[in-house]
RNA sequence: UGGGGAGUCGUCUAAUGGUAGGACAGCAGACUCUGGAUCUGUACGUGAGAGUUCGAUUCUUUCCUCCCCAGCCA
């Protein structure tokens, strides 16, 4: 059982020892940094990755992680991991742990620079008091609904709160009492005093503290007032002496507020906020709300369901950290909204796994083949190359015997023109083994083919013939007596539409793909896979890349298909059928 | 219809006044004991107009389209 507990072995990655390489491609953020370095504004850079621990990280976060940690590495600076934990209602320790695990797995290291916004609650409180004393903040008693009314609309300015001009001393006292827990949730808030007529709604006296009698996952019950994002984020950045605070586009019109707080507070450090476009991917959703819904309503098995675009899902699916990093490098960083073709991500895993994954043979939809002229009871150990892309991967022995399984799709009774595989009277090569020729197809009473009777040519051992004879097809196979029975899970896109949000009803779930998971059983793989460990990755010859799923037990191996191989024949066949 | 952003091959992304380039996807071919990989070739783009200039993706201007903002979420 121990072999199922952690990754290791031939097909696996040593995540911890992996180190992300430095990027060579430029982007507009690097241009800014280069200017800042050149002008002497900064001697070095400090960035940060600031997730809120209210969900699992996804591939979109990976883009941000690669950007922030990548920049730090490239410029010899550092990147902090900071949990933006200012909303105890939504946050959870489970998420903190998963985020740390995922960032590490991606190959990045924050060293001792692990922080929490909640670390700064005392400082934040003092800054808030300072704001009140400067008459730049006040305690407001408007209800939620009133607040919305007073805020105005996109086209009209708002109105002043009746509490806006209350004396500083009164706000001070009220704020103190808010902190002491004298008011219930929602009764009072602390607001910045900026400009209710601003065309930028964020500047219309934004709330900076609200009351929440909720236990915080780190500070417990010490606080019942919690700071809002806009106030917390810029102050946290300043405390950590961040030089470049990189966030996504939707925060662009929060920047004036970010700058306002730091200007008014006259913080020693005033980071520059830079916005870039978040990642969108075809055939999937990236919003935390939707991913959470998929998990909670059991459309998927969990955050790490192999169909999820989460880091843990992709990892379980068999993606490597290197593939994800390469992908993030490949897609670039810019300010225009964009949706990347999922095929680009698949290209990146294939490229990486092609170099690394050990080749093995596995039959997904078995068809029994009896080699009639092969001696009963004889077993030969044949040599098989582990990875033609990597000489150092060596070879292994695989057993061959009279009864084998081949892929059902590799036989056609009535083969189309360009079909190179097995058919009555046809000869093909069994990879690493012999040429075999199909003599007869045995059928049951319903006309289903139950097995094939073939003959082999003993002179072709290893898959060669000296007489110049050519065979067009090469098939993978496993010896029936030696094969390991297992389950294989074939995944397809979670959604049927390239843009899942394109719906008639407005509910993206109507685009869920009913066939996104197909479980195949029994499948047969070569006996060597018995020692496979969770997350070990393999190429099943001619089929795709697979990895051992965490649902596996020593008695039942389960493999996930990470991605298929490029299937030229499938494409060709489709074209033939169209004609 | 307020404010803030963005428009370059099908999709991402370069070119910062001087030959519009790369990657993915597509197509065609070569090669191959994986119809994998690899290699070669090929097609495809500056949202529109006006202006400045010898020369504009780049500068100016008008227009068009798309995205974000009215949580006591981040």
Return the closest-CA partner of residue A432 out of A480, A475, A389.
A475
Token pair for residue A432? 């690493």
Distance A338 CA to B7 C1' (A): 11
Amino acid A466: pLDDT: 85
Average of pLDDT values for A266-285?
98
Contacts of residue A117, defined as CB under 8 A and 6 or more positions apart, other chains included, come to A50, A82, A83, A84, A85, A86, A227, A232, A233, A236
Amino acid A224: pLDDT: 98
- The answer to the question of residue A481 being in a domain is no
Answer yes or no: do A349 and A385 share one domain: no
Amino acid A577: pLDDT: 82
Q: Does residue A13 carry a pLDDT above 90?
A: no
Answer yes or no: do A38 and A164 share one domain: yes
Q: Does residue A299 carry a pLDDT above 80?
A: yes
Q: How confident is the model at residue A16 (pLDDT cuts 50, 70, 90)?
A: very low
Question: What is the share, in percent, of chain A residues with pLDDT greater than 90?
Answer: 92
- Check residue A271 and report its DSSP letter: P
Question: Could you please report the per-residue DSSP string of A471-511?
Answer: -S-EE-EEETTTPEEEEEEEE--SBSSSSTT--SSS-GGGG
Catalytic site residue from A101, A212, A288, A437: A288
Answer yes or no: do A72 and A51 share one domain: yes
Length of chain A: 579
Distance A192 CA to B28 C1' (A): 65
- Residue nearest B38, CA–C1′ metric: A389
Name the nucleotide with the smallest C1'–CA separation from A86: B74
Q: Does residue A575 carry a pLDDT above 90?
A: no
Distance A543 CA to B53 C1' (A): 58
- Check residue A183 and report its DSSP letter: S
Q: How confident is the model at residue A20 (pLDDT cuts 50, 70, 90)?
A: low
Provide the residue range defining the domain that includes A133. 11-276
Name the nucleotide with the smallest C1'–CA separation from A147: B72
Amino acid A19: pLDDT: 57
Catalytic (active site) residue A278: yes
- The answer to the question of residue A529 being in a domain is yes
- Which of A106-115, A154-163, A459-468, A563-572 comes out lowest in average pLDDT? A459-468
Distance A346 CA to B46 C1' (A): 29
Contacts of residue A149, defined as CB under 8 A and 6 or more positions apart, other chains included, come to A159
Catalytic site residue from A52, A100, A451, A487: A52
Amino acid A21: pLDDT: 65
Q: How confident is the model at residue A578 (pLDDT cuts 50, 70, 90)?
A: confident
Average of pLDDT values for A524-542?
97
Question: What is the share, in percent, of chain A residues with pLDDT greater than 70?
Answer: 96
The distance of Cα A354 from the centroid of its chain, to the nearest Å, equals 20
Answer yes or no: do A164 and A129 share one domain: yes
For residue A423, the domain's CATH number is 2.40.240.10
Q: How confident is the model at residue A571 (pLDDT cuts 50, 70, 90)?
A: very high
Average of pLDDT values for A226-232?
98
Give residue-wise pLDDT tens across range A334-393: 999 999 999 999 999 999 999 999 999 999 999 999 999 999 999 999 999 999 999 999
First to last CA, chain A: 53
Amino acid A449: pLDDT: 97
- The answer to the question of residue A376 being in a domain is yes
More confident residue, A557 or A467: A557
Name the nucleotide with the smallest C1'–CA separation from A279: B12
- The answer to the question of residue A127 being in a domain is yes
The set of strand B positions with any atom below 7 Å of a protein CB reads 1-8, 10-16, 22-27, 33-38, 66-74
Number of domains in chain A: 3
Average of pLDDT values for A128-143?
98
HSE-CB at A98 with a 13 A cutoff on CA atoms is 22
Name the nucleotide with the smallest C1'–CA separation from A475: B34
Answer yes or no: do A218 and A112 share one domain: yes
In A325-407, beta strands by DSSP E: 358-360, 362-363, 366-371, 380-385, 395-400, 403-407
Answer yes or no: do A123 and A154 share one domain: yes
Q: Does residue A5 carry a pLDDT above 80?
A: no
Amino acid A468: pLDDT: 81
Q: What share of chain A is helix, strand, coil (3-state, %, to 5)?
A: 30, 25, 45
Q: Judging by beta carbons within 10 Å of its beta carbon (0-12, 13-18, 19+), is residue A159 exposed, middle or buried?
A: middle
Answer yes or no: do A197 and A96 share one domain: yes
Query: What is the average pLDDT value for chain A, to the nearest integer?
Result: 95
Answer yes or no: do A218 and A103 share one domain: yes
Amino acid A9: pLDDT: 34
- The answer to the question of residue A315 being in a domain is yes
Which of A476, A495, A520 is the endpoint of a domain? A476
Q: Does residue A419 carry a pLDDT above 60?
A: yes
Strand pairing class (A46-49; A78-83): parallel
Give residue-wise pLDDT tens across range A29-51: 999 999 999 999 999 999 999 99
Which of A253, A276, A299 is the endpoint of a domain? A276
Give the integer Cα–Cα distance in Å for A441 and A426. 12
Answer yes or no: do A388 and A507 share one domain: no
- Residue nearest B70, CA–C1′ metric: A153
Which of A476, A508, A540 is the endpoint of a domain? A476
Distance A491 CA to B46 C1' (A): 39
Distance A345 CA to B9 C1' (A): 20
Answer yes or no: do A214 and A78 share one domain: yes
Catalytic site residue from A104, A278, A397, A412: A278
Q: Does residue A18 carry a pLDDT above 60?
A: no
The distance of Cα A370 from the centroid of its chain, to the nearest Å, equals 44
Maximum alpha-carbon separation in chain A:
102
Name the nucleotide with the smallest C1'–CA separation from A289: B73
- Check residue A514 and report its DSSP letter: T
Distance A246 CA to B70 C1' (A): 25
């Amino acid at each position: 059982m121990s072999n199922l507990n952690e990754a290791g072995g031939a097909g696996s990655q040593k995540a911890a020892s992996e180190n992300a390489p430095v990027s060579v491609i430029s982007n507009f953020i690097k241009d800014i940094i280069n200017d800042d370095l050149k002008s002497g504004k900064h001697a070095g850079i400090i960035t940060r990755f600031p997730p809120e621990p209210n969900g699992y990280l996804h591939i979109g976060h990976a883009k941000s992680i690669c950007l922030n940690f990548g920049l730090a590495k490239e410029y010899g600076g550092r990147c902090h991991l900071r949990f933006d934990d200012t909303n105890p209602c939504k946050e959870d320790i489970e998420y903190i742990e998963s985020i740390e695990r995922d960032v590490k797995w991606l190959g990045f290291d924050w060293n001792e620079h692990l922080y929490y916004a909640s670390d700064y609650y005392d400082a934040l409180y003092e800054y808030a008091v300072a704001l009140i004393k400067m008459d730049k903040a006040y305690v407001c008693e408007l209800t939620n609904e009133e607040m919305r009314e007073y805020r105005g609309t996109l086209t009209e300015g708002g109105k002043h709160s009746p509490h806006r001009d209350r004396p500083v001393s009164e706000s001070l006292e009220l704020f103190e009492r808010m902190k002491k827990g004298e008011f219930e949730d929602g009764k009072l808030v602390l607001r910045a005093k900026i400009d209710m007529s601003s065309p930028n709604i964020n500047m219309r006296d934004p709330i900076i503290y609200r009351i929440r009698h909720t236990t915080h996952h780190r500070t417990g019950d010490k606080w019942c007032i919690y700071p809002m994002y806009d106030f917390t984020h810029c102050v946290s950045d300043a405390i950590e002496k961040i030089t470049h605070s990189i966030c996504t586009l939707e925060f662009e019109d929060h920047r004036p507020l970010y700058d306002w707080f730091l200007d008014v507070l006259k913080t020693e450090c005033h980071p520059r906020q830079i916005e870039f476009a978040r990642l969108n991917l075809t055939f999937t959703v990236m919003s935390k709300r939707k991913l959470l819904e998929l998990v909670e309503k059991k459309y998927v098995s969990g955050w790490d369901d192999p169909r999820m675009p989460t880091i843990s899902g992709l990892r379980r699916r068999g993606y490597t950290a290197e593939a994800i990093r390469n992908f993030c490098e490949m897609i670039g960083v810019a300010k225009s909204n964009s949706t990347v073709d999922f095929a680009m991500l698949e290209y990146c895993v294939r490229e990486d796994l092609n170099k690394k994954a050990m080749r093995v043979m596995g039959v997904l939809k078995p068809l029994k083949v009896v080699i009639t002229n092969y001696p009963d009871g004889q077993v030969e150990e044949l040599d098989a190359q582990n990875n033609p892309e990597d000489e150092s991967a060596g070879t292994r022995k695989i057993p061959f015997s009279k009864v084998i399984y081949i892929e059902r799709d590799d036989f056609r009774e009535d083969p189309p023109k360009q079909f190179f595989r097995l058919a009555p009277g046809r000869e093909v090569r069994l990879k690493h083994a012999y040429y075999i020729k199909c003599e007869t197809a045995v059928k049951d009473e319903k006309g289903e083919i139950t097995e094939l009777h073939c003959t082999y040519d003993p002179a072709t051992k290893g898959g060669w013939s000296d007489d110049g004879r050519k065979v067009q097809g090469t098939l993978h196979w496993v010896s029936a007596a030696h094969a390991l029975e297992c389950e294989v899970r074939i995944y397809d896109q979670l959604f049927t539409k390239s843009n899942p949000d394109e719906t008639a009803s407005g509910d993206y779930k109507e685009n869920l793909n009913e066939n996104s998971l197909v479980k195949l059983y029994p499948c047969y793989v070569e006996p060597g896979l018995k020692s496979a460990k969770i997350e070990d990755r393999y190429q099943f010859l001619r089929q795709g890349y697979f990895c051992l799923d965490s649902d596996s037990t020593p008695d039942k191996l389960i493999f996930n298909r990470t991605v298929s191989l490029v299937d030229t024949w499938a494409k060709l066949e489709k074209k033939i059928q169209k004609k």
